[in-house]
Structure 1
Amino acid sequence: MNTSRTFGHIDTWVFDLDNTLYPHHVNLWQQVDARIGEFVGAWLKVPPAEARRIQKDYYRRYGTTMRGMMTEHGVRADDYLAYVHQIDHSPLEPNPAMGAAIERLPGRKLILTNGSTDHADKILTRLGIGDHFEAVFDIIAAELEPKPAPQTYRKFLGLHQVDPARSAMFEDLARNLVIPHQLGMTTVLVVPDGSKQVVREDWELEGRDASHVDHVTDDLTEFLQGLV
């Protein structure tokens, strides 16, 4: 872990959404994950085990399963997003402590997600923190190119006129912090707190000791409270 980059100069705070603004063990993403598997299986007419293999292969190679399905099979993004985000958001509970900590951060707060704005809005509403964010940059704004594609970060920075050298990026996937770190952002990896079982691939939990990860936390609220 590289702790040379700190937060005194930060005026823009950029947050991933899923498994970052709420704990991994809520397993909300597990619902999306299951819907993705159903979509892949139905579209390709393959059994669940094969759909799962294809889903995870595309996720790893293309950044999102959706991008793989679009590239390899001509799937329309609208159809895919509408289906996979039909989930039950009730496991999410309001987090006023995190909201207060975000509010106290000096400067702007933005969301950068591979999900959709509709999905983001539902999550932010359930958490009770939507009012603290200036904007959501979603997969549509990214022109369907997901993180960790370099052009997606550059598009985000340009659209919102963000200076990466004065910005911090919070993410649950270490690979999505490589480009932000190269661009000069201070990076924070949000990891499971170990209190409950999480449903993740092994590679998704790797990278906490990588040189492009400046800080690691298993409690985002506590971490943010310590910055202000």
Structure 2
Amino acid sequence: MTVMPKDAIFTPVEAHARAAEAKGFYHVDTWVFDLDNTLYPASSRLFDQIDAKITAYVMARSGLDGLSARALQKFYYRTHGTTLRGMMTEDGLDPDEFLAFVHDIDHSVLAPAPALAEGIARLPGRRFVLTNGSRRHAESVIARLGVAELFEDVFDIAAAGYVPKPEAEAYRLFLDLHGIEPAKAAMFEDLSKNLVIPHALGMRTVLVTPQDGEPEGLERLTAPDDADAAPHVDHMTDDLPGFLAGLALVAGE
């Protein structure tokens, strides 16, 4: 453990380490990361592509104009957790067709992220991606970021039986499949509501927020909450690589 005097002047990484110590990670041996707008910054606008494709799919399937399709998309998201789940429930949608269409995007906007890779590599124990997206999309993202080999597995929406976060069943299926003890795990997410169940299960929770000036996608805009005061959020950061580097200091590396 790194001991830091109270009157010290801290570098950004040391400041992250002090924050991490406040609700310790010493017991954590499993690290779980959301994918979109968590492992990569919202400023890449990758999720904007997905968002636009979802709207286009709703337009084509429903015959609605753009504004009406967008409103229906938001309704599905608010009511069912994801647009996919809403269309499956209310319109008998084939999920594989939907996922193939909305994730047919340009992943080349993502660049390798060596600082992120270094931070993840230094986390002791097991590492997973838990996403409401598809495995194919997740694998494309982590390959572009240069972190694919650092994760034991990707648990996608199909593996969850198309039950999305924040539903408790999605987390239960993931934890049971991999034999994870929640009290020894940490969850990183860009949506506060998706940390409610992990926190209730005993996981350390980290909310990854956009940096100043970064765009916010549909899923954040249509699901506002008071993350700053949320008891289910143990930590907040707009600098995931820096936060992970701070964790390495806490671990004494």
Partner of 1:202: 221
- Counterpart amino acid of 1:78? D
Q: Is the 8 A contact 1:189 1:208 kept in 2?
A: no
CA–CA distance in 2 between the matches of 1:197 and 1:172? Answer: 13
Q: Residue 208 of structure 1: SS of its match in structure 2? A: helix
- Counterpart amino acid of 1:220? L
CA–CA distance in 1 between the matches of 2:34 and 2:215? Answer: 21
- Counterpart amino acid of 1:40? V
* Offset from partner CA, 1:57-83 (integer Å, 9 cap, x none): 111221110000010101100110010
Aligned pairs, how many? Answer: 228
Normalized against structure 2, the TM-score is what?
Answer: 0.87
Partner of 1:116: 134
| Alignment of 1:61 onto 2:74 | no
Partner of 1:214: 234
Q: Residue 244 of structure 2: SS of its match in structure 1? A: helix
Residue 197 of structure 1: CA displacement? 3.7
Partner of 1:19: 37
* Offset from partner CA, 1:38-64 (integer Å, 9 cap, x none): 000110111110100010111122111
* Offset from partner CA, 1:112-143 (integer Å, 9 cap, x none): 00000000000001001000000000000000
Q: Residue 142 of structure 1: SS of its match in structure 2? A: coil
Q: Residue 173 of structure 2: SS of its match in structure 1? A: helix
Residue 14 of structure 1: CA displacement? 0.2
Residue 209 of structure 1: CA displacement? 2.4
- Counterpart amino acid of 2:39? L
Q: Residue 229 of structure 2: SS of its match in structure 1? A: coil
Q: Is the 8 A contact 1:115 1:138 kept in 2?
A: yes
Q: Residue 114 of structure 1: SS of its match in structure 2? A: coil
| Alignment of 1:162 onto 2:183 | no
How does 1:1-228 map onto structure 2 within 5 Å?
A: 5-200=23-218, 201-204=220-223, 206=225, 207-228=227-248
CA–CA distance in 2 between the matches of 1:59 and 1:198? Answer: 15
Q: Residue 221 of structure 1: SS of its match in structure 2? A: helix
Q: Is the 8 A contact 2:74 2:222 kept in 1?
A: no
CA–CA distance in 1 between the matches of 2:181 and 2:129? Answer: 15
Q: Is the 8 A contact 1:4 1:214 kept in 2?
A: no
Divergent runs of 4+, >3 A:
195-206
Normalized against structure 1, the TM-score is what?
Answer: 0.96
CA–CA distance in 1 between the matches of 2:224 and 2:186? Answer: 20
Please report the RMSD computed on the Cα atoms of aligned residues, expressed in angstroms: 1.7
CA–CA distance in 2 between the matches of 1:146 and 1:163? Answer: 20
| 1:140–1:199 distance in 2 versus 1, CA, 3 Å | closer
CA–CA distance in 1 between the matches of 2:128 and 2:232? Answer: 21
CA–CA distance in 1 between the matches of 2:217 and 2:97? Answer: 25
CA–CA distance in 2 between the matches of 1:54 and 1:141? Answer: 26
Residue 204 of structure 1: CA displacement? 4.2
Instruction: Point out where structure 1 has 5 or more consecutive residues left out of the alignment.
Output: none
CA–CA distance in 1 between the matches of 2:221 and 2:52? Answer: 17
